Structure 1
Amino acid sequence: MKIITIPVTPFAQNCRIIACESTQEAIVVDPGGDSDKIIATLTSNSLTLKAVWLTHGHLDHVGAADVLRRQFDIKIIGPHKDERFWFDNLPMQAQMFGFPPIDPFYPDEWLSHGDTLSLGKLKFDVMHCPGHTPGHIVFYEQDNKCVIVGDVIFKGSVGRTDFPQGNSQQLIESIKANILTLPVKTAILSGHGSETTVEHEIKTNPFVSGQYG
Structure 2
Amino acid sequence: MEIIDQIAMIPGRSWGSNVYVVGKGELALIDSGLTGDFKSHFIKDIESLGLDPRNIRKLVITHFHPDHIGGVLEVVDFCAADVMIHEIEAAYIEKKAGFNVQVKLKDGDIIQLGNMNFEVIHTPGHSPGSICLYNSEKRILFSGDTVFAYGVGRTDIPGGDIIELKKSIKKLTELDVEILLPGHDVPVIGNANENIKLDYSFVESLPDDY
TM-score by length of 2: 0.82
The answer to whether the aligner puts 1:176 opposite 2:170 as a matched pair is yes
Given candidates 46, 51, 74, the residue that maps to 1:46 is 51
- Tell me if structure 2 keeps the 8 A contact 1:138–1:149: yes
Aligned with 1:74 (options 75, 81, 85): 81
Task: Say whether residues 1:106 and 2:103 are aligned partners.
Answer: no
- Say yes or no: does 1:5 pair with 2:29: no
Q: Which residue of 2 aligns with 1:186?
A: 178
Contact 2:10-2:42 at 8 Å conserved across structures: yes
Task: String of CA shifts for 1:54-95, please: whole Å, max 9, x gaps.
Answer: 0000010011112111211221111332453355444xxxxx
Question: What's the counterpart of residue 14 of structure 1?
Answer: 18
Aligned positions, number: 195
**Deviation, structure 1 residue 199:** 2.1
Give the 3 Å change call, closer, same or farther, for CA 119–166 of structure 1 in structure 2: same
Please give the secondary structure, in 1, of the residue aligned with 2:105.
coil
The answer to whether 1:84 aligns with 2:91 is yes
Q: Distance in 2 between matches of 1:31 and 1:130?
A: 20
- Displacement of 1:207 in angstroms is 1.7
* More moved, 107-116 vs 10-19: 10-19
CA distance in 2 between partners of 1:167 and 1:142 (Å): 28
**Equivalent pair of 2:63/2:89 in contact (CA under 8 Å):** no
Unaligned runs of 5+ in 1: 91-103
Q: Deviations over 1:19-46 (max 9, x none)?
A: 2x5xx22211111131132222333423
For the residues of structure 2 that align with 1:211 and 1:175, how far apart are their CA atoms?
13
Name the CA shift for 1:168/1:106 in 2 (closer, same or farther; >3 Å). Answer: farther
Distance 1:211 1:187, change over 3 A: farther
Amino acid paired to 1:28: L
Question: Residues 42 and 87 of structure 1: is their aligned pair in 2 closer, same or farther, counting only changes over 3 Å?
Answer: same
Match of 2:137 in 1: 143
1:25 match: 26
Deviation (angstroms), 1:200: 2.8
Equivalent in the alignment of 1:63? 70
- C-alpha distance in structure 2 between counterparts of 1:78 and 1:164, whole Å: 18
Q: Does the CA-based 8 Å contact 1:57-1:87 persist in structure 2?
A: no
- Alpha carbons 1:25, 1:49 under 8 Å: kept: yes
- Percent sequence identity is 27
8 Å CA contact 1:29–1:55 kept in 2: the answer is: yes
For residues 102-138 of structure 1, give each alpha carbon's deviation from its aligned partner in whole angstroms, at most 9, with x where no partner exists. Answer: xx32322210001010134210110110010001111
TM-score by length of 1: 0.81
